[in-house]
Amino acid sequence: MVRTAFIIIFALLIATLLICGLASWRSEKPIGKAVCLLCISLIPPVLGNMIIIAATTKAVAYVGCYIYYIGMDFVMFALIRFTDKYCRYQVGTRRKKYSVPIWINHLLGLDVLQLLLNIAFGHAFVLSEIEAYGKPYFIMTPLLGQTFHRIICYGAMALTIIVFIIKSIQVPRLYKERYIVILISMIIGTMWQTFYIFSRTPIDRSMVGFAVFGLLIYYFSMHYRPLRLLDNMLADIINDTSVAVLLYGPEGRCIWANEPAKELTGRKSDEPEGISAALESLFGEIKSLPDDQDTEITRGIADSEKSYMIARGGFKDRSGKDLGSYVRVRDITQEKKRIEAEMYAANHDALTGLYNKEYTYKKINDQLKLHTLDNFYIATIHLCDFKVFNDVFGHEFGDAALKQVADWMSKYSDDNCIYGRIAGDRFGSCLPKNMMVEELLESDLAHFTVKLGDIEQNLTVHLGFCDVDEDVQDAAVLFDRAYIALDSIKDDYRRHVAFFDKKIRDKMIWNQEISAQLDNAIAQNQIIPYLQPIADNSGKIVGAEALVRWIHPVNGFMSPGDFIPLFEENGMIAELDKHIWRSACKILSSWEKKYPGIFISVNVSPKDFYMTDVYGEITSYVQEYGINPHNLRIEVTESSMMRDTDDRMKVLEDFRNDGFIVEMDDFGSGYSSLNMLKDMPVDVLKIDMKFLGKSNDEQKANIIVKNVIRLSEDLCIVSLAEGVETAENFDQLNGLGCDLFQGYYFSKPVPQADFEAMLDKERGNA
Ligand code: C2E
Ligand code: CA
Ligand code: CA
């Protein structure tokens, strides 16, 4: 009866272990397989014992014994694997430190072998029959092999226990219980079994311990979460945040408050209700705040002002029963300050503290959309030659200048104005018209001085204004207009204030129109060279200068002054010049036979050097029309040579080497440098008479011209006088030794046919 009861109990134990084994096998936890192996490994010893209990013959009892003893080796093997995983994974310690050495597995294997050999040699144990509970029971007598088996198993067990002991000492207190419980169960289990082994009491009840052990292992590995740990961790997290948290029970009593809540209310005691009361005295009744919503509250004034975000909410269980509520208070003072500082930095110019370009434009655009800028001006303030100023006086002084201009602007502005720094050397403002007093600004700007320490320096500041045009919705366009207005005072040192008026507006439109028409005009031959004769000292025509004219279908006859400055500015001059160079070559090729030796000079603008390959283009036309380069003269101005002088000299040299004649145009009108002349690879010097024309002191002018002519003689450069208008001019210059002459005295620039007629007449061909 007792034995049957034990058989049933053992069967239940086996079933329990099987279930734990299967459940851990299915688990996705890394330790799952090791737990499964251990649970399953515990089955054979229980099964073996069950067989021993049930055995009615010795042979069956032997089978039970073998299953039991070999099963124990299997248990040890699985326990070692489990220990390895359990003690390693949880805290992440390195494998080597806690691993049970691998050779133990070899010993376990050896033990299995020697136990099996007992069948043949009988060296490990023998069974003898006794009576227990009124039935025969087969009891084991250990021999040498069994002693070996025990040493191995106890040894393995001891090692495992040592690993668990070390582990439970080393892990943090919170984790200790998951090691200590297993440790204790291992020790109790071992002792319990030892009792049965050595006392040789029939029916090994310690097998119950095996199942309990299996269950414990299963629970601690697969399901155990230290609740205290969770509690402590959550409390830690809540204490670590800067957010004050208070928890209330369902009846509304404060049951817990974290550290920041204590700090916020300045309470020393841990008493939650006191902290809650202090919080209410700070922020008023908190219950009335809306559920689960942040509410911003500000306390204190000026510098000591602090901002808080307060929220309250409730907890409910699944059935909707009230579990309590919380209040959360976050100090957002710093956050707000940081956001404000970031906004400020994003919208302001760091140096002057004024709005930056983007923000100025945005503010103005916003107002434009609202149409609130009736009777407003847009003004741009330009620091003339500021780059040079910076370079000459240093950046520190430059910064001081910018700050002073910014201060000056602020002085002239009020709350109705929107103003800021819109470029390195430009400021912008949108101001009511009545705030603008031109005379006042002019007198202020006439002597704008920058001061830094002992240094004082004048700075030219220009102001451009334009009306706020309600049709324009873009501040950038208005600022461009105000800036364009500045062009009108560029060369007038007395004026500092300019308006974008109708004249400038029309000019702008004109510029746009004729720029758009250039390509078409060239294609349709509206743009043609006129020729102005050049004569030698006997008055005989020896060549001509090609001067562009635009015979416009709507505007009629247009002189270069109407469009050349614009094209020089926007770079389109290169297109125009290429056309004139090509036209000149074409004319020369038609003259090859008719007027051999008559030359044409073409103008090369300084901008051409940037926009195109001057040498390449001209030589390609010369080749195209097969003309003699000697008949094509290249006119360059001094200003062309001001930049990249070496490169330009090289181009001129190339022209001369190819047989072209190079002329220096408008000598005397620009930054003439006699010094430069001696190095310049030119053949002809065109002396600009305009600069002498207005001179009151004719004698002085004469002396200058005389000396320029003499100098060119010395340098073996041919001199050509431009602007010869009268016979008197001609005689006088002739007397001074000038070689060539050009001017209205001979002829104005005329169409090709007229020029040819002139040549024919001179030669008596007409
Ligand atoms: P520039 O090269 O100095 O040309 C001489 C200018 O003086 C021409 O004016 C000519 O008509 C004018 N002129 C000639 N003789 C006299 C005179 O006796 N008295 C006075 N008062 N003026 C005289 P234009 O044709 O109006 O050309 C003006 C400027 O436009 C030229 O000055 C030149 O710099 C530029 N230009 C003309 N055609 C071209 C061209 O095809 N390409 C380039 N890049 N510039 C050109
Ligand atoms: Ca010229
Ligand atoms: Ca000239």
Give yes or no for a contact between 758 and 551, defined as CB atoms under 8 angstroms apart: no
What is the structure's pLDDT at 98? 47
Atom of ligand 1 nearest to the CA of 749: 11
Distance CA 399, CA 350 (A): 11
Which ligand is in closest contact with the Cα of 663? 2
Decide: 532 in ligand 1 pocket, CB within 6 A: yes
Atom of ligand 1 nearest to the CA of 529: 41
Which ligand is in closest contact with the Cα of 534? 1
Nearest to 629 by CA among 637, 618, 640: 618
Nearest to 189 by CA among 202, 207, 204, 203: 207
pLDDT tens sequence across 305-339: 889 999 888 888 888 888 888 899 999 999 999 99
Q: Name every residue whose Cβ is closer than 8 Å to that of residue 696 and which is 6 or more positions away in sequence.
A: none
What is the structure's pLDDT at 337? 92
Q: Whose CA is nearest to atom 34 of ligand 1?
A: 603
Distance CA 9, CA 629 (A): 123
What b/e string do you get for 346-366 counting C-beta neighbours within 10 Å, with b at 16 or more? Answer: ebbbeebebbbbebbbebbee
Distance CA 129, CA 412 (A): 121
Q: Is residue 303 pLDDT above 90, yes or no?
A: no
- Mean pLDDT of the region 355-383: 94
Distance CA 258, CA 243 (A): 9
Q: Which CATH architecture has domain 524-763?
A: Alpha-Beta Barrel (3.20)
Amino acid found at 333 = T
Q: Is residue 437 pLDDT above 80, yes or no?
A: yes
* The pair of three-digit structure tokens given for residue 618, joined into one six-digit string: 């001209």
Give yes or no for a contact between 602 and 632, defined as CB atoms under 8 angstroms apart: yes
Decide: 577 in ligand 1 pocket, CB within 6 A: yes
CA–centroid distance, residue 343 to ligand 3 (Å): 58
pLDDT tens sequence across 202-225: 788 888 888 888 888 888 888 876
Distance CA 175, CA 228 (A): 10
Distance CA 721, CA 703 (A): 15
94 or 634: which carries more pLDDT confidence?
Answer: 634
**CATH fold for domain 348-500:** Alpha-Beta Plaits (3.30.70)
CA–centroid distance, residue 547 to ligand 1 (Å): 6
Strands 632-637 and 599-603: parallel
Decide: 204 in ligand 1 pocket, CB within 6 A: no
Decide: 40 in ligand 1 pocket, CB within 6 A: no
DSSP 8-state code for residue 101: P
What whole-number percentage of the chain has pLDDT above 70?
A: 95
Q: Is residue 725 pLDDT above 60, yes or no?
A: yes
CA–centroid distance, residue 319 to ligand 1 (Å): 99
Output the CA torsion sign for 102, 107, 113, 116: negative
Q: Is residue 388 pLDDT above 60, yes or no?
A: yes
What is the structure's pLDDT at 91? 42
CA–centroid distance, residue 688 to ligand 3 (Å): 6
Q: Which of 170-179, 214-223, 399-408 has the lowest mean pLDDT?
A: 170-179
Q: Whose CA is nearest to atom 14 of ligand 1?
A: 743
What is the structure's pLDDT at 351? 96
Q: Whose CA is nearest to atom 3 of ligand 1?
A: 666
Decide: 580 in ligand 1 pocket, CB within 6 A: yes
508 or 426: which carries more pLDDT confidence?
Answer: 426
Place of tokens 């006129």: 530
The span from the first CA to the last CA of the chain, in angstroms, equals 156
What is the structure's pLDDT at 464? 96
CA–centroid distance, residue 665 to ligand 2 (Å): 6
CA–centroid distance, residue 607 to ligand 3 (Å): 16
What whole-number percentage of the chain has pLDDT above 90?
A: 59
231 or 405: which carries more pLDDT confidence?
Answer: 405
Decide: 603 in ligand 1 pocket, CB within 6 A: yes
Which part of the chain has CATH 3.20.20.450? 524-763
Distance CA 628, CA 690 (A): 32
**CATH fold for domain 241-337:** Beta-Lactamase (3.30.450)
Report how far Cα 433 is from the mean position of its chain's Cα atoms.
41
What is the structure's pLDDT at 693? 61
- Mean pLDDT of the region 745-760: 97
Query: What is the H or E stretch that residue 673 is in?
Result: none
Q: Is residue 130 pLDDT above 80, yes or no?
A: yes
Which part of the chain has CATH 3.30.70.270? 348-500
Q: Is residue 99 pLDDT above 70, yes or no?
A: no
At residue 90 the predicted structure's pLDDT band, cuts being 50, 70 and 90, is very low
Decide: 666 in ligand 1 pocket, CB within 6 A: yes
At residue 766 the predicted structure's pLDDT band, cuts being 50, 70 and 90, is low
Which part of the chain has CATH 3.30.450.20? 241-337
Which ligand is in closest contact with the Cα of 724? 1
Distance CA 526, CA 145 (A): 123
Distance CA 757, CA 365 (A): 63
Q: Which of 8-17, 115-124, 588-597, 673-682 has the lowest mean pLDDT?
A: 673-682
pLDDT tens sequence across 606-623: 999 999 999 999 999 999
**Considering the chain, what is the average pLDDT of its residues?**
89
pLDDT tens sequence across 483-506: 999 988 988 889 999 999 999 889
Q: Is residue 586 pLDDT above 90, yes or no?
A: yes
CA–centroid distance, residue 519 to ligand 3 (Å): 26
Amino acid found at 328 = R
Which ligand is in closest contact with the Cα of 720? 3
Class of domain 2-224: mainly alpha
Distance CA 729, CA 750 (A): 21
Decide: 721 in ligand 1 pocket, CB within 6 A: no
